[in-house]
Chains A and B, each alone.
Chain A
Protein backbone atom coordinates (compact mmCIF):
# COMPACT_ATOMS: atom_id res chain seq x y z
CA UNK A 1 0.00 0.00 0.00
CA UNK A 2 1.38 3.40 -0.97
CA UNK A 3 1.55 6.12 1.62
CA UNK A 4 2.57 8.68 -0.99
CA UNK A 5 2.17 8.70 -4.73
CA UNK A 6 3.36 11.46 -7.05
CA UNK A 7 2.40 11.40 -10.72
CA UNK A 8 4.22 13.38 -13.40
CA UNK A 9 4.97 16.18 -10.98
CA UNK A 10 6.33 19.34 -12.57
CA UNK A 11 7.25 22.68 -11.05
CA UNK A 12 8.98 25.64 -12.68
CA UNK A 13 10.35 28.84 -11.15
CA UNK A 14 10.52 31.12 -14.17
CA UNK A 15 12.88 29.42 -16.61
CA UNK A 16 14.23 27.04 -13.98
CA UNK A 17 12.63 23.59 -13.93
CA UNK A 18 12.69 22.53 -10.28
CA UNK A 19 10.83 19.26 -10.89
CA UNK A 20 10.36 17.66 -14.28
CA UNK A 21 7.68 14.98 -14.47
CA UNK A 22 8.58 13.19 -11.25
CA UNK A 23 6.54 10.04 -10.54
CA UNK A 24 7.37 7.99 -7.47
CA UNK A 25 5.67 6.04 -4.74
CA UNK A 26 6.45 5.54 -1.06
CA UNK A 27 5.27 2.30 0.46
CA UNK A 28 3.50 2.56 3.81
CA UNK A 29 5.51 1.44 6.82
CA UNK A 30 8.91 2.12 5.23
CA UNK A 31 11.58 4.76 5.70
CA UNK A 32 12.12 6.51 2.41
CA UNK A 33 15.05 8.77 1.56
CA UNK A 34 14.93 11.60 -0.97
CA UNK A 35 18.54 11.95 -1.95
CA UNK A 36 20.11 14.59 -4.15
CA UNK A 37 22.66 17.34 -4.44
CA UNK A 38 21.79 20.93 -3.56
CA UNK A 39 19.22 22.24 -6.04
CA UNK A 40 18.11 18.75 -7.05
CA UNK A 41 14.47 19.52 -6.28
CA UNK A 42 14.19 17.67 -2.94
CA UNK A 43 12.81 20.60 -0.99
CA UNK A 44 10.42 21.57 -3.78
CA UNK A 45 9.03 18.04 -3.83
CA UNK A 46 8.82 18.00 -0.05
CA UNK A 47 6.97 21.29 0.12
CA UNK A 48 4.45 19.84 -2.31
CA UNK A 49 3.99 16.80 -0.09
CA UNK A 50 2.88 19.05 2.77
CA UNK A 51 0.79 21.30 0.57
CA UNK A 52 3.01 24.39 0.90
CA UNK A 53 3.57 24.44 -2.86
CA UNK A 54 1.20 23.67 -5.71
CA UNK A 55 2.54 21.74 -8.71
CA UNK A 56 2.31 23.29 -12.17
CA UNK A 57 1.14 19.89 -13.41
CA UNK A 58 0.80 16.38 -12.08
CA UNK A 59 -0.51 15.46 -8.66
CA UNK A 60 0.47 14.25 -5.20
CA UNK A 61 -1.61 11.92 -3.07
CA UNK A 62 -0.95 11.19 0.59
CA UNK A 63 -2.92 8.39 2.19
CA UNK A 64 -4.93 8.19 -1.04
CA UNK A 65 -6.03 11.83 -0.85
CA UNK A 66 -4.95 14.55 -3.25
CA UNK A 67 -2.83 17.00 -1.29
CA UNK A 68 -4.37 20.06 -2.93
CA UNK A 69 -7.83 18.97 -1.72
CA UNK A 70 -6.83 17.68 1.70
CA UNK A 71 -4.37 20.27 3.01
CA UNK A 72 -6.13 20.71 6.35
CA UNK A 73 -6.61 16.98 6.99
CA UNK A 74 -3.01 16.43 5.94
CA UNK A 75 -1.76 18.89 8.55
CA UNK A 76 -3.91 17.17 11.17
CA UNK A 77 -2.56 13.70 10.56
CA UNK A 78 0.97 14.15 9.24
CA UNK A 79 4.02 15.10 11.30
CA UNK A 80 6.21 17.54 9.41
CA UNK A 81 9.62 18.86 10.43
CA UNK A 82 10.72 21.75 8.20
CA UNK A 83 14.44 22.05 7.51
CA UNK A 84 14.78 25.43 9.17
CA UNK A 85 12.22 24.95 11.97
CA UNK A 86 12.64 27.56 14.68
CA UNK A 87 10.81 28.48 17.86
CA UNK A 88 10.30 31.69 19.86
CA UNK A 89 13.41 31.83 22.07
CA UNK A 90 11.45 33.25 25.01
CA UNK A 91 9.28 30.11 25.30
CA UNK A 92 10.25 26.90 27.05
CA UNK A 93 10.19 23.62 25.13
CA UNK A 94 7.09 22.56 27.03
CA UNK A 95 5.33 25.84 26.23
CA UNK A 96 6.16 25.46 22.53
CA UNK A 97 4.51 22.03 22.44
CA UNK A 98 1.61 23.06 24.65
CA UNK A 99 0.90 25.95 22.29
CA UNK A 100 0.89 23.64 19.27
CA UNK A 101 -1.32 21.15 21.11
CA UNK A 102 -3.83 23.96 21.76
CA UNK A 103 -3.79 24.93 18.08
CA UNK A 104 -4.34 21.27 17.20
CA UNK A 105 -7.36 21.25 19.50
CA UNK A 106 -5.97 18.58 21.84
CA UNK A 107 -8.41 18.40 24.76
CA UNK A 108 -7.18 20.09 27.93
CA UNK A 109 -7.37 16.84 29.94
CA UNK A 110 -4.83 15.05 27.76
CA UNK A 111 -2.71 18.00 26.64
CA UNK A 112 -0.08 17.81 29.37
CA UNK A 113 0.36 14.04 28.94
CA UNK A 114 0.62 14.29 25.17
CA UNK A 115 3.23 17.07 25.46
CA UNK A 116 5.20 15.15 28.08
CA UNK A 117 5.14 11.99 25.95
CA UNK A 118 6.48 13.85 22.91
CA UNK A 119 9.21 15.52 24.98
CA UNK A 120 10.13 12.17 26.53
CA UNK A 121 10.34 10.46 23.15
CA UNK A 122 12.96 12.92 21.92
CA UNK A 123 14.82 12.99 25.23
CA UNK A 124 14.03 16.56 26.17
CA UNK A 125 12.32 15.84 29.51
CA UNK A 126 15.11 17.44 31.52
CA UNK A 127 15.24 20.55 29.34
CA UNK A 128 11.47 20.89 28.94
CA UNK A 129 11.22 23.91 31.22
CA UNK A 130 14.25 25.72 29.88
CA UNK A 131 13.83 28.50 27.36
CA UNK A 132 14.33 27.43 23.77
CA UNK A 133 16.75 30.35 23.27
CA UNK A 134 19.26 28.35 25.32
CA UNK A 135 18.83 25.12 23.34
CA UNK A 136 21.61 23.72 21.18
CA UNK A 137 21.01 23.08 17.49
CA UNK A 138 20.52 19.38 18.23
CA UNK A 139 17.95 20.11 20.93
CA UNK A 140 16.11 22.41 18.53
CA UNK A 141 15.95 19.63 15.94
CA UNK A 142 14.63 17.22 18.56
CA UNK A 143 12.03 19.78 19.65
CA UNK A 144 10.96 20.08 16.02
CA UNK A 145 10.56 16.30 15.90
CA UNK A 146 8.55 16.40 19.13
CA UNK A 147 6.29 19.03 17.51
CA UNK A 148 5.66 16.64 14.63
CA UNK A 149 4.90 13.78 17.04
CA UNK A 150 2.09 15.77 18.69
CA UNK A 151 -0.01 14.87 15.67
CA UNK A 152 0.36 11.15 16.57
CA UNK A 153 1.29 10.72 12.95
CA UNK A 154 1.31 7.65 10.77
CA UNK A 155 3.48 9.61 8.34
CA UNK A 156 6.54 11.65 9.35
CA UNK A 157 8.07 14.06 6.85
CA UNK A 158 11.57 15.18 7.87
CA UNK A 159 13.31 17.80 5.76
CA UNK A 160 17.08 17.55 6.25
CA UNK A 161 16.54 16.52 9.89
CA UNK A 162 20.22 16.32 10.83
CA UNK A 163 21.54 19.30 8.85
CA UNK A 164 24.08 21.19 10.93
CA UNK A 165 24.25 18.63 13.73
CA UNK A 166 27.52 17.29 15.10
CA UNK A 167 28.15 13.52 14.83
CA UNK A 168 26.82 12.87 18.33
CA UNK A 169 23.67 14.85 17.55
CA UNK A 170 23.20 12.93 14.32
CA UNK A 171 23.63 9.60 16.12
CA UNK A 172 21.14 10.63 18.81
CA UNK A 173 18.61 11.69 16.18
CA UNK A 174 19.03 8.40 14.33
CA UNK A 175 18.52 6.45 17.56
CA UNK A 176 15.27 8.32 18.23
CA UNK A 177 14.00 7.63 14.72
CA UNK A 178 14.88 3.95 14.96
CA UNK A 179 13.05 3.70 18.29
CA UNK A 180 10.00 5.37 16.78
CA UNK A 181 10.05 2.89 13.93
CA UNK A 182 10.24 0.00 16.40
CA UNK A 183 7.33 1.31 18.46
CA UNK A 184 4.97 1.81 15.55
CA UNK A 185 4.65 1.00 11.87
CA UNK A 186 5.45 4.51 10.88
CA UNK A 187 6.10 5.75 7.36
CA UNK A 188 9.04 8.16 7.38
CA UNK A 189 10.21 10.28 4.46
CA UNK A 190 13.56 12.04 4.85
CA UNK A 191 15.25 14.48 2.50
CA UNK A 192 18.99 14.37 2.81
CA UNK A 193 22.22 14.78 0.94
CA UNK A 194 24.07 12.54 3.38
CA UNK A 195 24.64 9.06 1.99
CA UNK A 196 25.41 7.63 5.42
CA UNK A 197 21.98 8.73 6.60
CA UNK A 198 20.33 6.85 3.76
CA UNK A 199 22.40 3.76 4.60
CA UNK A 200 21.59 3.99 8.29
CA UNK A 201 17.89 4.72 8.13
CA UNK A 202 16.25 4.09 4.79
CA UNK A 203 14.62 1.04 3.23
CA UNK A 204 13.98 2.77 -0.10
CA UNK A 205 15.49 5.78 -1.78
CA UNK A 206 14.82 8.13 -4.66
CA UNK A 207 17.65 10.06 -6.29
CA UNK A 208 16.81 13.43 -7.75
CA UNK A 209 19.13 15.46 -9.94
CA UNK A 210 18.28 18.81 -11.51
CA UNK A 211 14.59 18.14 -11.07
CA UNK A 212 14.67 14.70 -12.67
CA UNK A 213 14.14 11.38 -10.93
CA UNK A 214 17.26 9.31 -11.61
CA UNK A 215 16.47 6.31 -9.42
CA UNK A 216 13.72 5.00 -7.18
CA UNK A 217 13.88 1.68 -5.40
CA UNK A 218 15.45 -0.23 -2.55
CA UNK A 219 18.67 1.09 -1.03
CA UNK A 220 20.24 -2.32 -1.65
CA UNK A 221 19.36 -2.09 -5.35
CA UNK A 222 21.04 1.32 -5.58
CA UNK A 223 24.09 -0.03 -3.77
CA UNK A 224 24.39 -2.90 -6.25
CA UNK A 225 24.57 -0.41 -9.12
CA UNK A 226 27.98 0.74 -7.84
CA UNK A 227 31.20 -1.05 -8.67
CA UNK A 228 32.18 -1.78 -5.07
CA UNK A 229 28.71 -2.32 -3.68
CA UNK A 230 28.85 1.08 -1.94
CA UNK A 231 26.28 3.83 -2.26
CA UNK A 232 28.73 6.57 -3.17
CA UNK A 233 29.98 5.16 -6.51
CA UNK A 234 26.42 4.23 -7.46
CA UNK A 235 25.24 7.74 -6.67
CA UNK A 236 28.17 9.31 -8.55
CA UNK A 237 27.45 7.12 -11.52
CA UNK A 238 23.80 8.22 -11.61
CA UNK A 239 24.77 11.88 -11.50
CA UNK A 240 27.46 11.40 -14.15
CA UNK A 241 24.99 9.60 -16.41
CA UNK A 242 22.58 12.49 -16.00
CA UNK A 243 25.26 15.01 -16.96
CA UNK A 244 26.73 12.82 -19.73
CA UNK A 245 30.24 12.65 -18.28
CA UNK A 246 32.57 10.31 -16.44
CA UNK A 247 31.82 9.69 -12.74
CA UNK A 248 33.74 11.97 -10.38
CA UNK A 249 33.50 13.08 -6.76
CA UNK A 250 30.35 15.04 -5.97
CA UNK A 251 31.32 17.35 -3.11
CA UNK A 252 27.75 18.46 -2.37
CA UNK A 253 26.87 14.99 -1.16
CA UNK A 254 28.49 13.79 2.04
CA UNK A 255 29.43 10.24 2.70
Chain B
Protein backbone atom coordinates (compact mmCIF):
# COMPACT_ATOMS: atom_id res chain seq x y z
CA UNK B 1 0.00 0.00 0.00
CA UNK B 2 1.45 3.37 -0.93
CA UNK B 3 1.06 6.51 1.14
CA UNK B 4 -1.34 8.01 -1.36
CA UNK B 5 -3.52 4.94 -1.19
CA UNK B 6 -3.57 4.84 2.59
CA UNK B 7 -6.89 6.06 3.88
CA UNK B 8 -6.69 8.61 6.68
CA UNK B 9 -8.03 7.68 10.08
CA UNK B 10 -7.58 9.35 13.42
CA UNK B 11 -5.44 6.54 14.69
CA UNK B 12 -3.37 6.19 11.58
CA UNK B 13 -4.89 2.77 10.85
CA UNK B 14 -6.04 1.79 7.40
CA UNK B 15 -9.73 0.92 7.17
CA UNK B 16 -9.39 -2.23 5.11
CA UNK B 17 -10.87 -5.47 6.35
CA UNK B 18 -8.41 -7.80 4.67
CA UNK B 19 -4.73 -7.80 5.45
CA UNK B 20 -3.02 -6.50 2.34
CA UNK B 21 0.66 -6.40 1.67
CA UNK B 22 2.11 -4.30 -1.11
CA UNK B 23 2.73 -6.42 -4.18
CA UNK B 24 6.24 -5.05 -4.39
CA UNK B 25 8.32 -3.61 -1.57
CA UNK B 26 8.84 0.13 -1.62
CA UNK B 27 12.55 -0.20 -1.04
CA UNK B 28 13.62 3.17 0.32
CA UNK B 29 16.74 4.80 -1.05
CA UNK B 30 19.78 3.09 0.46
CA UNK B 31 21.56 6.42 0.82
CA UNK B 32 18.55 8.04 2.47
CA UNK B 33 18.05 5.19 4.95
CA UNK B 34 21.74 4.90 5.79
CA UNK B 35 21.82 8.70 6.17
CA UNK B 36 18.87 8.62 8.57
CA UNK B 37 20.51 5.97 10.75
CA UNK B 38 23.82 7.88 10.59
CA UNK B 39 22.22 11.17 11.69
CA UNK B 40 20.48 9.49 14.61
CA UNK B 41 23.67 7.76 15.74
CA UNK B 42 25.56 11.06 15.52
CA UNK B 43 22.84 12.94 17.41
CA UNK B 44 22.74 10.30 20.14
CA UNK B 45 26.51 10.51 20.62
CA UNK B 46 26.21 14.28 21.01
CA UNK B 47 23.34 13.98 23.51
CA UNK B 48 25.07 11.20 25.43
CA UNK B 49 28.15 13.46 25.58
CA UNK B 50 30.39 10.83 23.96
CA UNK B 51 31.48 13.41 21.39
CA UNK B 52 32.58 15.87 24.08
CA UNK B 53 34.28 13.20 26.17
CA UNK B 54 36.26 11.92 23.18
CA UNK B 55 37.24 15.43 22.05
CA UNK B 56 38.31 16.32 25.60
CA UNK B 57 40.40 13.16 25.87
CA UNK B 58 42.22 13.67 22.58
CA UNK B 59 42.71 17.39 23.27
CA UNK B 60 44.16 16.65 26.73
CA UNK B 61 46.51 14.09 25.25
CA UNK B 62 47.72 16.44 22.51
CA UNK B 63 48.13 19.43 24.82
CA UNK B 64 50.00 17.35 27.41
CA UNK B 65 52.44 16.01 24.82
CA UNK B 66 53.00 19.41 23.22
CA UNK B 67 53.54 20.94 26.66
CA UNK B 68 56.06 18.26 27.64
CA UNK B 69 57.74 18.55 24.23
CA UNK B 70 58.23 22.26 24.83
CA UNK B 71 60.04 21.98 28.13
CA UNK B 72 63.28 23.89 27.99
CA UNK B 73 61.73 26.63 25.91
CA UNK B 74 61.76 25.12 22.41
CA UNK B 75 59.03 22.84 21.13
CA UNK B 76 60.62 19.84 19.41
CA UNK B 77 58.05 18.99 16.74
CA UNK B 78 59.40 15.56 15.83
CA UNK B 79 59.55 14.49 19.46
CA UNK B 80 55.95 15.65 19.90
CA UNK B 81 54.78 13.61 16.91
CA UNK B 82 56.68 10.46 17.95
CA UNK B 83 55.41 10.69 21.54
CA UNK B 84 51.84 11.32 20.39
CA UNK B 85 52.00 8.38 17.96
CA UNK B 86 53.25 6.00 20.65
CA UNK B 87 50.58 7.11 23.13
CA UNK B 88 47.90 7.04 20.44
CA UNK B 89 48.89 3.51 19.44
CA UNK B 90 47.76 2.46 22.90
CA UNK B 91 44.88 4.86 23.51
CA UNK B 92 43.19 5.22 20.10
CA UNK B 93 42.31 1.53 19.70
CA UNK B 94 41.24 1.26 23.34
CA UNK B 95 38.95 4.29 23.13
CA UNK B 96 37.53 3.27 19.72
CA UNK B 97 36.85 -0.28 20.87
CA UNK B 98 35.16 0.89 24.07
CA UNK B 99 33.13 3.49 22.15
CA UNK B 100 31.98 0.97 19.56
CA UNK B 101 31.53 -2.30 21.41
CA UNK B 102 27.83 -1.78 22.18
CA UNK B 103 26.84 -0.44 18.75
CA UNK B 104 24.77 -3.52 17.86
CA UNK B 105 24.58 -5.75 20.92
CA UNK B 106 23.82 -2.76 23.18
CA UNK B 107 20.87 -1.73 21.01
CA UNK B 108 19.72 -5.34 21.01
CA UNK B 109 19.75 -5.59 24.80
CA UNK B 110 17.94 -2.24 25.05
CA UNK B 111 15.16 -3.51 22.77
CA UNK B 112 15.86 -0.87 20.10
CA UNK B 113 17.31 -3.30 17.56
CA UNK B 114 14.08 -5.32 17.60
CA UNK B 115 12.14 -2.15 16.79
CA UNK B 116 14.57 -1.19 14.00
CA UNK B 117 14.56 -4.66 12.44
CA UNK B 118 10.74 -4.58 12.32
CA UNK B 119 10.98 -1.54 10.02
CA UNK B 120 11.21 -1.86 6.22
CA UNK B 121 14.94 -1.28 6.14
CA UNK B 122 17.54 -3.96 5.36
CA UNK B 123 19.58 -4.84 8.43
CA UNK B 124 22.81 -4.14 6.57
CA UNK B 125 21.81 -0.47 6.20
CA UNK B 126 21.24 -0.21 9.93
CA UNK B 127 24.73 -1.58 10.53
CA UNK B 128 26.42 0.66 7.98
CA UNK B 129 24.53 3.75 9.20
CA UNK B 130 25.43 2.98 12.80
CA UNK B 131 29.09 2.67 11.86
CA UNK B 132 29.21 5.84 9.78
CA UNK B 133 27.50 7.83 12.53
CA UNK B 134 29.98 6.69 15.14
CA UNK B 135 32.90 7.16 12.75
CA UNK B 136 31.80 10.77 12.17
CA UNK B 137 31.81 11.41 15.92
CA UNK B 138 35.16 9.69 16.43
CA UNK B 139 36.84 11.39 13.47
CA UNK B 140 35.48 14.76 14.55
CA UNK B 141 36.82 14.23 18.06
CA UNK B 142 40.28 13.24 16.74
CA UNK B 143 40.48 16.25 14.40
CA UNK B 144 39.20 18.69 17.03
CA UNK B 145 41.23 17.22 19.90
CA UNK B 146 44.55 16.85 18.08
CA UNK B 147 43.72 20.08 16.27
CA UNK B 148 44.07 21.97 19.53
CA UNK B 149 47.60 20.60 19.93
CA UNK B 150 48.24 21.54 16.31
CA UNK B 151 47.08 25.09 16.91
CA UNK B 152 49.51 25.36 19.81
CA UNK B 153 52.34 24.11 17.58
CA UNK B 154 51.26 26.51 14.83
CA UNK B 155 51.37 29.41 17.30
CA UNK B 156 55.08 28.68 17.84
CA UNK B 157 55.66 28.25 14.11
CA UNK B 158 56.49 24.54 14.50
CA UNK B 159 53.47 22.84 13.01
CA UNK B 160 54.87 20.25 10.61
CA UNK B 161 53.49 18.00 7.88
CA UNK B 162 54.30 15.06 10.16
CA UNK B 163 51.80 16.34 12.75
CA UNK B 164 49.09 16.74 10.11
CA UNK B 165 49.94 13.26 8.85
CA UNK B 166 49.49 11.95 12.37
CA UNK B 167 45.98 13.43 12.52
CA UNK B 168 45.07 11.80 9.20
CA UNK B 169 46.51 8.44 10.28
CA UNK B 170 44.62 8.69 13.58
CA UNK B 171 41.32 9.22 11.74
CA UNK B 172 41.97 6.22 9.49
CA UNK B 173 43.28 4.07 12.33
CA UNK B 174 40.34 5.04 14.55
CA UNK B 175 38.01 4.05 11.72
CA UNK B 176 39.65 0.62 11.55
CA UNK B 177 39.45 0.05 15.32
CA UNK B 178 35.83 1.20 15.34
CA UNK B 179 35.04 -1.21 12.48
CA UNK B 180 36.57 -4.08 14.45
CA UNK B 181 34.49 -3.18 17.51
CA UNK B 182 31.38 -3.13 15.29
CA UNK B 183 32.19 -6.66 14.14
CA UNK B 184 32.65 -7.86 17.73
CA UNK B 185 29.39 -6.13 18.67
CA UNK B 186 27.57 -7.87 15.81
CA UNK B 187 28.90 -11.28 16.79
CA UNK B 188 28.41 -10.99 20.55
CA UNK B 189 25.26 -12.31 22.19
CA UNK B 190 25.64 -10.06 25.25
CA UNK B 191 27.23 -6.70 25.98
CA UNK B 192 29.60 -8.20 28.53
CA UNK B 193 30.83 -10.66 25.90
CA UNK B 194 31.41 -7.79 23.47
CA UNK B 195 33.33 -5.78 26.08
CA UNK B 196 35.49 -8.76 26.95
CA UNK B 197 36.08 -9.51 23.28
CA UNK B 198 37.12 -5.96 22.45
CA UNK B 199 39.49 -5.79 25.43
CA UNK B 200 41.13 -9.07 24.41
CA UNK B 201 41.41 -7.70 20.88
CA UNK B 202 43.08 -4.56 22.24
CA UNK B 203 45.60 -6.58 24.25
CA UNK B 204 46.54 -8.49 21.11
CA UNK B 205 46.63 -5.52 18.72
CA UNK B 206 48.25 -2.92 20.98
CA UNK B 207 50.46 -4.97 23.27
CA UNK B 208 51.27 -8.44 21.99
CA UNK B 209 51.26 -8.54 18.19
CA UNK B 210 54.36 -6.41 17.55
CA UNK B 211 56.36 -8.15 20.27
CA UNK B 212 55.53 -11.55 18.81
CA UNK B 213 56.25 -10.36 15.25
CA UNK B 214 59.63 -8.84 16.02
CA UNK B 215 60.44 -11.75 18.34
CA UNK B 216 59.78 -14.27 15.57
CA UNK B 217 62.06 -12.36 13.23
CA UNK B 218 64.77 -11.87 15.87
CA UNK B 219 64.69 -15.58 16.70
CA UNK B 220 65.08 -16.43 13.00
CA UNK B 221 61.81 -18.35 13.03
CA UNK B 222 60.88 -16.32 9.94
CA UNK B 223 62.99 -14.09 7.76
CA UNK B 224 62.98 -10.26 7.86
CA UNK B 225 60.98 -10.28 4.62
CA UNK B 226 58.01 -11.21 6.81
CA UNK B 227 58.09 -7.80 8.51
CA UNK B 228 55.74 -6.07 6.00
CA UNK B 229 53.29 -8.95 6.39
CA UNK B 230 53.32 -8.55 10.17
CA UNK B 231 52.84 -4.79 9.83
CA UNK B 232 49.86 -5.12 7.49
CA UNK B 233 48.30 -7.81 9.68
CA UNK B 234 47.69 -5.35 12.50
CA UNK B 235 45.87 -2.02 12.03
CA UNK B 236 47.60 -0.57 15.11
CA UNK B 237 50.99 -1.26 13.56
CA UNK B 238 49.86 0.13 10.21
CA UNK B 239 48.76 3.30 12.02
CA UNK B 240 52.12 3.61 13.83
CA UNK B 241 54.16 3.11 10.67
CA UNK B 242 51.98 5.48 8.65
CA UNK B 243 52.10 8.20 11.29
CA UNK B 244 55.86 7.88 11.80
CA UNK B 245 56.79 7.82 8.12
CA UNK B 246 56.93 11.60 7.82
CA UNK B 247 59.18 11.99 10.87
CA UNK B 248 62.84 12.36 9.79
CA UNK B 249 64.28 10.65 12.85
CA UNK B 250 62.49 8.13 15.00
CA UNK B 251 63.63 7.44 18.52
CA UNK B 252 64.87 3.93 17.91
CA UNK B 253 63.63 0.62 19.29
CA UNK B 254 60.54 -1.12 17.96
CA UNK B 255 59.33 1.97 16.07
CA UNK B 256 62.56 2.08 14.04
CA UNK B 257 62.20 -1.59 13.16
CA UNK B 258 58.60 -1.18 12.06
CA UNK B 259 59.23 1.96 9.99
CA UNK B 260 61.98 -0.02 8.27
CA UNK B 261 59.40 -2.39 6.79
CA UNK B 262 59.63 -0.53 3.48
CA UNK B 263 55.88 -0.13 3.03
CA UNK B 264 54.87 2.98 1.09
CA UNK B 265 52.24 5.49 2.20
CA UNK B 266 49.64 4.40 -0.42
CA UNK B 267 50.03 0.76 0.66
CA UNK B 268 49.61 1.71 4.33
CA UNK B 269 46.58 3.91 3.63
CA UNK B 270 45.11 1.15 1.47
CA UNK B 271 45.67 -1.35 4.28
CA UNK B 272 43.77 0.81 6.76
CA UNK B 273 40.93 1.22 4.26
CA UNK B 274 40.79 -2.57 3.94
CA UNK B 275 40.78 -2.80 7.76
CA UNK B 276 37.79 -0.42 7.74
CA UNK B 277 35.78 -1.91 4.91
CA UNK B 278 36.24 -5.61 5.68
CA UNK B 279 34.83 -5.66 9.24
CA UNK B 280 31.94 -3.36 8.28
CA UNK B 281 31.11 -5.55 5.28
CA UNK B 282 31.33 -8.70 7.40
CA UNK B 283 29.12 -7.13 10.07
CA UNK B 284 26.52 -6.12 7.50
CA UNK B 285 26.41 -9.73 6.27
CA UNK B 286 26.49 -11.45 9.65
CA UNK B 287 23.78 -9.28 11.19
CA UNK B 288 21.22 -11.09 9.01
CA UNK B 289 21.81 -14.19 11.15
CA UNK B 290 21.38 -12.32 14.41
CA UNK B 291 18.37 -13.44 16.40
CA UNK B 292 16.36 -10.53 17.86
The interface of chain A, by Cβ under 8 A from chain B, is 1, 3-4, 28-29, 50, 52-53, 62-65, 70, 72-78, 80, 82, 84-88, 90-91, 99-100, 102-107, 110, 114, 117-118, 120-121, 144, 147, 149-150, 152-155, 179-180, 183-187
Q: Which residues of B contact A179 (CB under 8 A)?
A: 11
Contacting B119 at CB < 8 Å: which of A75, A120, A153, A155?
A: A75
A-B CB contact pairs (8 Å), 24 listed? A50-B118, A52-B117, A63-B18, A63-B19, A72-B25, A72-B120, A72-B122, A73-B21, A73-B23, A82-B292, A84-B114, A86-B110, A87-B112, A87-B115, A88-B110, A91-B47, A103-B36, A104-B119, A149-B12, A154-B20, A184-B9, A184-B11, A185-B17, A187-B19
The prevalent SS among residues of B at the interface is: loop
Q: Which residues of B contact A73 (CB under 8 A)?
A: 21-25, 120
Q: Which residues of B contact A149 (CB under 8 A)?
A: 11-13
Instruction: Decide if B33 touches A90 in the complex (CB within 8 Å).
Output: no
Q: What does the 1/0 interface line of B1-43 toward A look like (CB < 8 Å)?
A: 1010010011111111111111111111100110011001000
Name which of A105, A121, A147, A150 has the most chain B CB atoms within 10 A of its CB.
A105
What is the chain A residue whose CB lies nearest that of B112?
A86
Name which of B20, B110, B112, B115 has the most chain A CB atoms within 10 A of its CB.
B115
What is the chain B residue whose CB lies nearest that of A118?
B12
Cα-based distance from A74 to B119 in the complex (angstroms): 9
Instruction: Decide if A106 touches B3 in the complex (CB within 8 Å).
Output: yes
Cα-based distance from A140 to B104 in the complex (angstroms): 21
Cα-based distance from A155 to B21 in the complex (angstroms): 10
Instruction: Decide if B15 touches A185 in the complex (CB within 8 Å).
Output: yes
**Cβ-based interface call for B44 (8 A):** yes
Assuming the A-B contacts A63-B18, A106-B3, A184-B11, are A86 and B111 also in contact, with contact meaning beta carbons closer than 8 angstroms in the complex? yes
CB of A249 to closest CB in B, whole Å = 32
Interface size, B (range):
35 or more
CB of B218 to closest CB in A, whole Å = 48
Instruction: Decide if A90 touches B19 in the complex (CB within 8 Å).
Output: no
Instruction: Decide if B21 touches A103 in the complex (CB within 8 Å).
Output: no
Instruction: Decide if A105 touches B15 in the complex (CB within 8 Å).
Output: no
Contacting B17 at CB < 8 Å: which of A29, A88, A118, A121?
A: A29
**Cβ-based interface call for B164 (8 A):** no
Instruction: Decide if B115 touches A147 in the complex (CB within 8 Å).
Output: yes
Instruction: Decide if A184 touches B36 in the complex (CB within 8 Å).
Output: no
- 8 further A-B contacts with Cβ under 8 Å, apart from A1-B17, A84-B114, are A3-B19, A82-B115, A90-B44, A104-B120, A152-B1, A154-B13, A185-B15, A186-B13
CB of B21 to closest CB in A, whole Å = 4
CB of A190 to closest CB in B, whole Å = 15
Instruction: Decide if A117 touches B18 in the complex (CB within 8 Å).
Output: no
Instruction: Decide if B21 touches A63 in the complex (CB within 8 Å).
Output: yes
Q: Which residues of A contact B29 (CB under 8 A)?
A: 105
Q: Which residues of A contact B120 (CB under 8 A)?
A: 72-73, 75-76, 103-105
Instruction: Decide if B20 touches A77 in the complex (CB within 8 Å).
Output: yes
What is the chain A residue whose CB lies nearest that of B4?
A107
Instruction: Decide if B16 touches A154 in the complex (CB within 8 Å).
Output: yes
**Cβ-based interface call for B48 (8 A):** yes
Q: Which residues of A contact B47 (CB under 8 A)?
A: 90-91
Contacting A28 at CB < 8 Å: which of B17, B26, B36, B112?
A: B17
Assuming the A-B contacts A149-B12, A183-B13, A184-B9, are A76 and B25 also in contact, with contact meaning beta carbons closer than 8 angstroms in the complex? yes
Instruction: Decide if A153 touches B13 in the complex (CB within 8 Å).
Output: yes
CB of B199 to closest CB in A, whole Å = 25
Cα-based distance from A117 to B9 in the complex (angstroms): 9
Q: Which residues of A contact B144 (CB under 8 A)?
A: none
Contacting A65 at CB < 8 Å: which of B10, B21, B36, B116?
A: B21
Contacting A152 at CB < 8 Å: which of B14, B19, B292?
A: B14
Q: Which residues of A contact B119 (CB under 8 A)?
A: 75, 100, 103-104
Q: Which residues of A contact B40 (CB under 8 A)?
A: 88, 99
Q: Which residues of A contact B23 (CB under 8 A)?
A: 73
**Cβ-based interface call for B121 (8 A):** yes
Cα-based distance from A52 to B12 in the complex (angstroms): 25
Contacting A88 at CB < 8 Å: which of B18, B44, B291?
A: B44
Instruction: Decide if A103 touches B28 in the complex (CB within 8 Å).
Output: yes
Q: Which residues of A contact B33 (CB under 8 A)?
A: 103
Contacting B20 at CB < 8 Å: which of A63, A80, A114?
A: A63
What is the chain B residue whose CB lies nearest that of A84?
B111
Assuming the A-B contacts A52-B291, A72-B27, A84-B114, are A28 and B13 also in contact, with contact meaning beta carbons closer than 8 angstroms in the complex? no
Q: Which residues of B contact A90 (CB under 8 A)?
A: 44, 47-48
Q: Which residues of A contact B292 (CB under 8 A)?
A: 52, 82
Instruction: Decide if A28 touches B19 in the complex (CB within 8 Å).
Output: yes
